[in-house]
């Protein structure tokens, strides 16, 4: 069963897991293919970053590559003001750059 969110995204299921949008589920499929092809070592979903003021930013994917590097991925349809603010805080407090897809 699919349900629409206020921004128009459709909750989608893959491999028994729920994703916030069709676009996020499609990126999950890409990561699974990259992992099977030996380009990605492994990846995590919904990784929290704790911010001041009891705020938690949750990225969509944390991807680990074979060369030991990692990449924080956020699959976005709409960049909300809250997202932009939290992204800036995460990048200021943690040694990461959030890549948007």
Q: Is 59 exposed, middle or buried (0-12, 13-18, 19+ CB in 10 A)?
A: buried
Residue 16 lies in a domain: yes
Residues of the chain above pLDDT 90, percent: 85
Residue 7 lies in a domain: no
Per-residue pLDDT of the chain (101 residues; tens, 9 = 90+): 555 555 567 889 999 999 989 999 999 999 999 999 999 999 999 999 999 999 999 999 999 999 999 999 999 988 999 999 999 999 999 999 999 99
Residue 67 lies in a domain: yes
Residue 73 lies in a domain: yes
> Structural domain tally of the chain?
1
Let me know: does 11 contact 3? Beta carbons within 8 Å.
yes
The confidence score (pLDDT) of residue 65 equals 97
Residue 2 lies in a domain: no
The confidence score (pLDDT) of residue 10 equals 85
Residue 3 lies in a domain: no
**Parent domain of 62:** 12-100
Residue 33 lies in a domain: yes
Residue 28 lies in a domain: yes
């Amino acid at each position: 069963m699919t349900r629409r969110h206020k921004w128009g995204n459709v909750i989608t299921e893959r491999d028994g897991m729920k994703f916030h949008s069709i676009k996020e589920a499609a990126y999950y499929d890409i990561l699974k293919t990259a992992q099977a092809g030996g380009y990605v070592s492994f990846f995590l979903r919904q990784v929290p970053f704790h911010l001041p003021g009891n705020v938690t930013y949750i990225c969509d994917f944390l991807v680990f590559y074979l060369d030991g590097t990692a990449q924080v991925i956020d699959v976005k349809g709409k960049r909300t003001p809250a997202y932009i603010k939290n992204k800036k805080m995460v990048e200021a407090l943690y040694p990461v750059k959030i890549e948007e897809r």
